[in-house]
């Protein structure tokens, strides 16, 4: 069967084509405005610690996971999950439906970029003046007014207002561009990315060199890199770091699964994942250097008061950095229209391949399920996506865009999906099969640590972040209602959307597809079952702990008793989790499979553990908020920042160097098979 699928499925032309396409998907708008802005807001150089931990602890292992399941099944996300068990199909659709929500607004941001690109071109031809230009601090107001009023025609509140016709054209251009990039299939995508990946890198390089050579750039870099260590004590910093890693690496939406499903059977998995992830980080980091060096240069020219970078003064939210702060900064400096062109050109080329990777993944999922033809599904999707996009190009659309992005990319969307993916594949599938599959064709091999991190470490970390946000939202006020008791419409709709996504996913997975023939399921599901007794014990214990946790949260008891129970539950959760893991390791063999009770016990225990950790974190943050942290005045780059800079470059250059070395070494060895691995795979 596998060979049959392989023959029919198209594939990337070359290894480079695949790597670049995956980098193209990963490197997007999130790198150029998301990363620098978050780094600056959450501790400067200190933010790099949670970010790098998240990258190596969660990012790379999950990317390997997504690559291996896509490659192993040769199917887009829903069908790939279904190969494990027919009920898992909804997990795949869940991610795909989330991707659909994103694809309704991501192109809208790209449309802004197209517009600003156009203004820059016009600027170049009309003597170098940008429409938002203005001298000194007045220019900040100009840039704000231009984006908010002239361009967006923004109105406050939840009302949509009328459609902004000036954004309709750029939105059409965006969708048409995306259409032409993918209408021929991934072979063409594999060629297009040879343009859309190196070009923005070149642009970023130009911006960085120019930024760093400006007078005052060091001041900007100090704001970017000087660490504020106290931010590390706030769990929110960690939450943002993990969220940013997921979004930036395009994980959890089924994109990487789909891309890997088009890989040739002999392709490397592990090394590719590492290369792509590190390249994505490198791009984010360099983008930050470019942005902040330029902001520093601007501050020097305009002598802005006590916050020379003035990001806060200019940009309230992520997109404003790209459409207000940076355009303003450029307008203060010589050759503004040219560099504005370079910046928006970089954004457009960065964003387009991320956007079409999502379209491609939705498209491939539909085609895999229904067998309908691409040439019909794609135009329909393009029109539907465009029509949904119209909601966001109304006067009130920008507010909605921000809120919905917050939900989909926040804890409710992305973190939960990542968690679900790991839990399902780690506890309910045989993760070892995937590891063997990946190892048998990769430049370097994963050890058993990978199984444990997918099964336990990552779910506990993501689960803790998820529960912590959940408790915050439920118990804190001002989430769905204002303190005055009024409903906050945007949040209600956002929450409804993320709640509706799994419902739609279930419906989609129930609909009969063309591949629903008997015997499609994984053969391992028919093996005799072992470990029932231990499984039952673990299951009951895990359930009791879960019930206790609910009681803990709802029933009032004295604080001291509460603390003791909490730590008891935490240790109980960890013990049950390890026990279930032991049962799985012992019984997942070629002749048997572990009892489902043990597998579910493992899942409940990981959730128990993470919920307990979340409660502890919540307690920490409450005590934290009492002390106000003021940012130190930072004029020049401190010694620590130089060390941070050196360490980051070492990680990037060392990491990529090591990956390429392994690739070269493996290329020399091709033809030599690993007999133990081949034997293992059938086991
Ligand atoms: N990784 C892309 C970015 O940084 C966004 C993206 C998310 C693309 C999910 C595909 C899937 O902008």
Q: Is the pLDDT of residue 6 over 50?
A: no
Cα(25) to ligand 1 centroid in Å equals: 6
Ligand 1 contacts CB of residue 250 (under 6 A): yes
**pLDDT tens readout for residues 158-173:** 778 888 889 999 999 9
Q: Which of 247-261, 430-444, 454-468, 628-642 has the lowest mean pLDDT?
A: 628-642
Q: What is the pLDDT of residue 630?
A: 44
Q: Is the pLDDT of residue 355 over 50?
A: yes
Residue range 296-315: average pLDDT? 62
- Give the CATH class of 15-409+476-515: mainly alpha
Pocket of ligand 1, candidates 247, 252, 413, 417: which has the most ligand atoms within 8 Å of its Cβ, to mutate?
Answer: 247
Residue range 409-438: average pLDDT? 86
Q: Is the pLDDT of residue 454 over 70?
A: yes
Average pLDDT, rounded, for the chain:
84
Q: What is the pLDDT of residue 530?
A: 72
Helix axis angle, 89-125 to 165-182, nearest 10°: 120
Provide the 3-class DSSP secondary structure of residue 497: helix
Ligand 1 contacts CB of residue 146 (under 6 A): no
Find all residues with CB under 8 Å of 556, minimum gap 6, and list them: none
Ligand 1 contacts CB of residue 29 (under 6 A): yes
Q: Is the pLDDT of residue 298 over 90?
A: no
**pLDDT tens readout for residues 532-574:** 888 888 889 889 989 988 888 888 777 788 888 888 889 999 9
Residue range 625-637: average pLDDT? 53
Q: How confident is the model at residue 3 (pLDDT cuts 50, 70, 90)?
A: very low
CA 319 to chain centre: 17
Q: Which of 74-83, 146-155, 191-200, 556-565 has the lowest mean pLDDT?
A: 556-565
Domain ranges of the chain: 15-409+476-515
- Of all protein residues, whose CA lies closest to atom 6 belonging to ligand 1? 250
Q: What is the pLDDT of residue 460?
A: 94
Q: What is the pLDDT of residue 114?
A: 94
Q: Which tokens hold the place of 257?
A: 């699964």
Ligand 1 contacts CB of residue 358 (under 6 A): yes
Q: Is the pLDDT of residue 328 over 50?
A: yes
Cα(102) to ligand 1 centroid in Å equals: 9
Taking the model in full, what pTM does it have? Answer: 0.90
Q: Which of 294-308, 355-369, 438-452, 563-577 has the lowest mean pLDDT?
A: 294-308
Q: Is the pLDDT of residue 672 over 50?
A: no
Q: What is the pLDDT of residue 306?
A: 54
Q: Is the pLDDT of residue 102 over 80?
A: yes
- Of all protein residues, whose CA lies closest to atom 11 belonging to ligand 1? 250
Q: Is the pLDDT of residue 677 over 50?
A: no
Residue with tokens 């199909």: 89
Distance CA 412, CA 592 (A): 36
Ligand 1 contacts CB of residue 357 (under 6 A): yes
Residue range 312-331: average pLDDT? 71
Q: Are 211 and 224 in contact (CB under 8 A)?
A: no
Cα(585) to ligand 1 centroid in Å equals: 35
- Of all protein residues, whose CA lies closest to atom 3 belonging to ligand 1? 28
Q: What is the pLDDT of residue 522?
A: 66
Q: What is the pLDDT of residue 490?
A: 82
Cα(191) to ligand 1 centroid in Å equals: 20
Residue with tokens 């909490």: 566
Helix axis angle, 431-439 to 60-73, nearest 10°: 90
Q: How confident is the model at residue 2 (pLDDT cuts 50, 70, 90)?
A: very low
Q: How confident is the model at residue 289 (pLDDT cuts 50, 70, 90)?
A: very high
Distance CA 136, CA 301 (A): 8
DSSP characters over 590-659: SS-EE-HHHHHHHHHHHHHHHHHHHHHHHHHHHHHTTSPPPPPP--S--HHHHHHHHHHHHHHHHHHHHH
Q: Is the pLDDT of residue 8 over 60?
A: no
Bridge partner list, 530 = 594
Q: How confident is the model at residue 678 (pLDDT cuts 50, 70, 90)?
A: very low
Q: Is the pLDDT of residue 676 over 50?
A: no
**pLDDT tens readout for residues 457-488:** 999 999 998 888 787 777 766 667 777 777 78
Q: Which of 112-126, 164-178, 300-314 has the lowest mean pLDDT?
A: 300-314
Distance CA 289, CA 39 (A): 11
């Amino acid at each position: 069967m596998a060979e049959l699928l392989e023959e029919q499925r198209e594939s990337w032309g070359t290894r480079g084509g695949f790597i670049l396409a995956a980098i193209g998907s990963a490197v997007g708008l999130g790198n150029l405005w998301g990363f620098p802005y978050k780094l600056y807001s959450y501790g400067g150089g200190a933010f790099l610690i949670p970010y790098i931990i998240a990258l190596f602890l969660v990012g790379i292992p999950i990317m390997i996971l997504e690559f291996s399941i896509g490659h192993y099944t040769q199917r887009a996300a829903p069908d790939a999950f279904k190969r494990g068990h027919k009920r898992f199909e909804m997990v795949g659709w869940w991610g795909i439906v989330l991707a659909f929500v994103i694809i309704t607004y991501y192109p809208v941001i790209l449309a802004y970029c197209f517009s600003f690109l156009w203004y820059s071109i016009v600027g170049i031809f009309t003597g170098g003046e940008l429409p938002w230009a203005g001298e000194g601090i007045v220019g900040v107001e100009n840039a704000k007014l231009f984006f908010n009023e002239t361009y967006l025609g923004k109105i406050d509140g939840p009302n949509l207002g009328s459609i902004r016709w000036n954004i309709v054209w750029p939105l059409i251009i965006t969708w048409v561009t995306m259409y032409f990039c993918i209408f021929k299939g991934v072979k063409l995508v594999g060629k297009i990315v040879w343009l859309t990946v190196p070009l923005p890198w070149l642009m970023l390089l130009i911006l960085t060199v120019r930024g760093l050579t400006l007078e005052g750039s060091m001041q900007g870099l100090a704001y970017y890199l000087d660490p504020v260590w106290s931010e590390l004590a706030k769990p929110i910093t960690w939450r943002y770091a993990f969220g940013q890693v997921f979004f930036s690496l395009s994980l959890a939406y089924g994109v990487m699964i789909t891309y890997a499903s088009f890989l040739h059977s002999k392709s490397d998995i592990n090394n590719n994942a590492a290369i792509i992830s590190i390249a994505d980080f490198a791009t984010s980091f360099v983008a930050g250097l470019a942005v902040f060096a330029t902001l520093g240069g601007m501050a020097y020219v305009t002598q802005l008061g006590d916050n020379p970078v003035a990001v806060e003064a200019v940009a309230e939210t992520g997109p404003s950095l790209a459409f207000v702060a940076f355009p303003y900064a450029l307008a203060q400096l010589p050759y503004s229209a040219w560099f504005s062109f370079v910046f928006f050109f970089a954004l457009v080329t960065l964003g387009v391949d991320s956007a079409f990777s999502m379209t491609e993944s939705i498209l491939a999922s539909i085609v895999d399920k229904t067998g309908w033809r691409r040439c019909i599904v794609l135009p329909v999707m393009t029109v539907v996506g465009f029509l949904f996009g119209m909601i966001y190009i109304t006067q009130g659309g920008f507010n909605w865009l921000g809120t919905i992005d917050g939900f989909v990319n926040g804890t409710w969307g992305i973190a939960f999906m990542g968690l679900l993916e790991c839990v399902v594949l780690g506890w309910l599938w045989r993760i070892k099969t995937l590891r063997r599959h990946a190892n048998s064709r990769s430049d370097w091999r994963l050890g058993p640590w990978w199984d444990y991190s997918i099964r336990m470490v990552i779910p506990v970390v993501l689960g803790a972040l998820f529960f912590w946000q959940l408790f915050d939202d439920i118990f804190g006020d001002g989430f769905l209602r204002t303190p005055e008791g009024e409903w906050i419409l945007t949040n209600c709709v956002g929450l409804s959307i993320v709640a509706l996504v799994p419902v739609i996913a279930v419906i989609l997975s129930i609909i009969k597809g063309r591949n629903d023939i008997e015997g499609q399921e994984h053969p391992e599901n028919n093996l005799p079952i072992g470990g029932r007794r231990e499984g039952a014990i673990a299951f009951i214990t895990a359930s009791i702990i879960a019930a206790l946790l609910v009681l803990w949260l709802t029933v009032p008891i004295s604080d001291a008793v509460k603390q003791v129970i909490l730590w008891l539950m935490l240790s109980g959760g960890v013990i049950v989790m390890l026990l279930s893991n032991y049962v799985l390791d012992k019984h997942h063999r070629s002749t048997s499979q572990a009892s489902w009770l043990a597998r579910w016990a493992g899942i409940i225990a990981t959730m128990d553990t993470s919920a307990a950790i979340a409660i502890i974190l919540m307690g920490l943050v409450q005590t934290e908020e009492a002390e106000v942290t003021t940012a130190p005045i930072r004029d020049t780059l401190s010694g620590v920042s130089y060390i941070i800079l050196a360490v980051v470059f070492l990680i990037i250059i060392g990491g990529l160097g090591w990956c390429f070395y392994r690739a070269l070494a493996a290329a020399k060895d091709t033809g030599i098979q690993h007999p133990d691995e081949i034997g293992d795979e059938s086991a």
